[in-house]
Chains A and B, each alone.
Chain A
Amino acid sequence: MRPRKPGIGHTLSSTSQRSYWLGRYLERAESTARLIIVNANLLLDLPVRLPLGWRPLVHITGSEPEFDKVFKRSNERNVVRFLISDLRNPASLFSSLNLARENARTLRGRMPRAAFEYVNELVLYSRQSLSEPLSRTRRVAGLSRVMQMIQQIDGFLSGNMLHDALWGFLRIGNFIERADMLSRIVDLHSTDILGGNRPDPASFQDVQWRSVLESLSALQSYNATRQGPIDEVAVLNFLFKSPSLPRSYLRCLNQIRYNLRSLPRNERPLQAVNRLRREIEAVGSEAFAGDRLHGFVDDRQQDLAELHNTINRTYFDFKPRLPRA
């Protein structure tokens, strides 16, 4: 075989965009699976049977209008089906996985060959094991396996994919989605989902924030870092400002910054992410307190949307200036 001449590797805007969305969809699928598992556990811990126990998940995933078009009742069966297998829900687990696969398919040439095979297997597995309504135990087993498979893909890519610009975009997609999901989960708990029904406010708050930590895989870390007893302000401080918790808001921003640094033309996106970092570092506990929490979370979501727009404008959807003759 003849020696190959060296070439310069380029990263197309369109390819980068697909990598970014692959990162987002995989992360979204994992979060969705985790949310459903955690919510089922939360309901078991609650002192009363709540009529609206599953509705909040529809809210978190931002798909209430789609849900109400299809279903009348927000019971477990409907919500779970809507969140897992319903392709009419653009944010369902299956929709996210399908979109992840379509993006992975077009990236096949730029990722290790096995990556697409794994994503493909993930889609096939989830269809096979989660299409029908299931008992809670079997559903949890299926969803746990899905989460595990996604984590394996993450790990596989990290260990085998070229850590180039495409990898950078994949990670940025991961972390923007992760930060976004964190804010959605917290937002859900910023409103009083129990209304006046709580028999013992203090102990219930405990349960609620414990479940938030769990849904972010952060309970063990919370205890390990000796944050003290579980209370709202301590949990929120941990979730938004911990530099070491893998799913904290600050850590997501730090990861986005880290990945942006090795990308070309990164001035504006770096400015944007640094601004968000400064803002969160300056925030004091009073910003989380009581009524302010919802507004605080809202601001974070808007910030993330703007960061997304900046990245989109810089790399994916820019108008090229073509040289004159």
Chain B
Amino acid sequence: MAIDWDRYDSGLAWDELIAPGGKPRPGGGGLCRTLGRLSDAELAERKAAAELAIRAMGITFAVYARGKGGSIDREWPFDIVPRLIRKREWDAVTAGLKQRTTALNRFIDDVYHEQRSLADGVLPRELVEQSREFRPECVGVDPPHGVWSHVCGTDLVRDADGRFHVLEDNLRVPSGVSYMLENRHVMKRVFPELFENLAIHPVDDYPDRLAECLRSLSPREVEAPQIVVLTPGIYNSAYFEHAYLANAMAAELVEGSDLAVGPDDVVYMRTVNGLVRVDIVYRRIDDLFLDPLAFNPDSALGVPGLMRAWRAGKVALANSPGCGVADDKVIYTYVPELIRYFLGEEPLLPNVPSYRCVIKDERDEVLDNLDKMVVKPANESGGYGMMIGPQASRKEREAFARRIRAKPRNYMAQPMVTLSTAPTLIGADAEPRHLDLRPFILSGADTYVTMGGLTRVAMRRGSTVVNSSQGGGSKDTWVVGN
């Protein structure tokens, strides 16, 4: 027994590897043949090799049990069948992502300066003013290159016709890129022969690109500006990634207590040599914890005076505080208009069709069709607080209807998208599982998009929930061909 591609059937969903009829899509033949040649035992062996590599490399997205004298590392569920994307198609997506991120950065800069887009009515002023992520402390600040969101993780999905759509923009502190890099390491250990025979574009220049992007923000013109990665600490679920990136960039991994801001508004880190000036803080903690003097006074994670140093232009913060104002699921629905307004271009990558509950006609449409809709709150991430209509009980739907009527600004809705699938090894056979894709976009002096991104898979049959916090796994993503 081995994988039998003839029996593989993804139903209505668009499959990434297998076309209707069981034939591989262009570029996927080599992979299908190689996988098809493996016996059950060999498949199990490769799977075990991947698990061993993941364990040995210590790739975890850590769930720490405190107070038990120890901690639990949870390994990231990983599927050994890669997801393929053709280079030509990826180039088009890359152009769309650059366009979108550029427009979003122009929008954020506008929000904290003239607010032309609001004055011109591109979107309702109160959407911005009522946003939980709008920070008055940021008004008038001029970050280098006018860029606010330097590292953006945009979630893409493919619909039943195989077209990529943007599901959401993660502009604040998106994570996952280290898993993208580690997945590639694992795959090289598990399927070295495929790397010899397929033209797979490398992903491992990301840390260098990130460092280059961050250096372009330096307030000082020096040969080697000092970069630090600011982490909430070892108990954060993404700590692995913070350490990984700091190491790969040859930057310092610091916690708030390692830093201090002087009366000269300069940020210093405490080293065995004494104080050393810091130029760029790649912060992996939320705005409200950055600086107890400016925001949450109880935050022990932040650095007192950091906002003052940033406003004085003595340090760069990436991502800039306040950039979450554009990372709001209601504002998301206006991104196509923002692209037209700021760039004078038609959007290259479409949004998932969306309804704005703030607009009466669209709200009524949502309320009439709640059983077919996915309702999302404006300001949550990680899949929390949303309602999947077809799976919700009548009671849940009624509760959401009440909430939408009470606070329409807090909600938007999308019709259910049939997410694409890719073959995933379940036991000794390949079965279709739904997935999405998170590429990372770096914006500084230049803009850079990762080659592919992190593919997240819903490991349960039929499920479309890919979040790691809710049982999702991941796959390596291969951009192939010329």
Q: Taking beta carbons and an 8 Å cutoff, which residues of A are in contact with B?
A: 1-2, 4-14, 16, 87, 94-95, 98, 102, 105-106, 108-110, 113, 116-117, 120, 165, 263-265, 315, 318, 320-325
Task: For chain B, give the interface size range.
Answer: 35 or more
* Minimal beta-carbon separation of A160 from chain B (angstroms): 15
Q: Taking beta carbons and an 8 Å cutoff, which residues of B are in contact with A?
A: 56-58, 69-71, 204-205, 208, 211-212, 215, 223-224, 226, 234, 243-244, 246-247, 250, 252-255, 257-258, 260-266, 268-276
Q: Is the CB of B69 within 8 A of A109?
A: no
Q: Is the CB of A109 within 8 A of B253?
A: yes
Q: Is the CB of B273 within 8 A of A322?
A: no
Q: Is the CB of B275 within 8 A of A320?
A: yes
Given known contacts A2-B205, A7-B224, A322 and B250 CB-to-CB distance under 8 angstroms: no
Q: Is the CB of A10 within 8 A of B234?
A: no
Interfacial chain A residues near B273, Cβ < 8 Å: 10-11, 264-265
Q: Is the CB of B243 within 8 A of A95?
A: no
Q: Once bound together, how far apart are the Cα atoms of A8 and B272, in whole Å? A: 14
Given known contacts A2-B212, A5-B215, A98-B69, A14 and B234 CB-to-CB distance under 8 angstroms: no
Q: Is the CB of B244 within 8 A of A109?
A: yes
Interfacial chain B residues near A94, Cβ < 8 Å: 69
Q: Once bound together, how far apart are the Cα atoms of A210 and B69, in whole Å? A: 37
Given known contacts A95-B69, A323-B263, A325-B265, A109 and B223 CB-to-CB distance under 8 angstroms: no
Q: Identify A322's interface contact among B223, B244, B268, CB under 8 A.
A: B268
Q: Is the CB of A1 within 8 A of B208?
A: yes
Closest 9 interchain pairs by CB? A109-B247, A322-B262, A87-B69, A7-B224, A325-B264, A13-B270, A109-B243, A325-B263, A10-B271
Q: Is the CB of A12 within 8 A of B271?
A: yes
Q: Identify B224's interface contact among A8, A16, A113, CB under 8 A.
A: A8
Q: Is the CB of B58 within 8 A of A14?
A: no
Q: Is the CB of B271 within 8 A of A13?
A: yes
Q: Once bound together, how far apart are the Cα atoms of A325 and B260, in whole Å? A: 14
Q: Is the CB of B243 within 8 A of A5?
A: no
Q: Once bound together, how far apart are the Cα atoms of A4 and B210, in whole Å? A: 12
Q: Which residue of B lies closest to A165 (CB)?
A: B272
Q: Is the CB of B258 within 8 A of A13?
A: yes
Q: Is the CB of A11 within 8 A of B271?
A: yes
Q: Which residue of A lies closest to B247 (CB)?
A: A109
Interfacial chain A residues near B252, Cβ < 8 Å: 10, 12
Q: Is the CB of A16 within 8 A of B272?
A: yes
Q: Once bound together, how far apart are the Cα atoms of A5 and B222, in whole Å? A: 11
Given known contacts A10-B269, A105-B234, A323 and B264 CB-to-CB distance under 8 angstroms: yes
Q: Once bound together, how far apart are the Cα atoms of A10 and B260, in whole Å? A: 16
Q: Is the CB of A320 within 8 A of B270?
A: yes
Q: Identify which of B56, B204, B265 gathers the most chain A CB atoms within 10 Å of its CB.
A: B56
* Minimal beta-carbon separation of A269 from chain B (angstroms): 11
Q: Identify A263's interface contact among B69, B255, B272, CB under 8 A.
A: B272
Q: Is the CB of A323 within 8 A of B224?
A: no
Q: Is the CB of A110 within 8 A of B275?
A: no
Given known contacts A2-B212, A14-B257, A322 and B263 CB-to-CB distance under 8 angstroms: yes
Interfacial chain A residues near B272, Cβ < 8 Å: 11-13, 16, 165, 263-265, 315
* Minimal beta-carbon separation of B233 from chain A (angstroms): 9
Q: Is the CB of B253 within 8 A of A102?
A: no
Q: Identify B276's interface contact among A4, A10, A321, CB under 8 A.
A: A10
Q: Is the CB of B243 within 8 A of A108?
A: yes
Q: Once bound together, how far apart are the Cα atoms of A10 and B264, in whole Å? A: 22
Interfacial chain B residues near A325, Cβ < 8 Å: 262-265
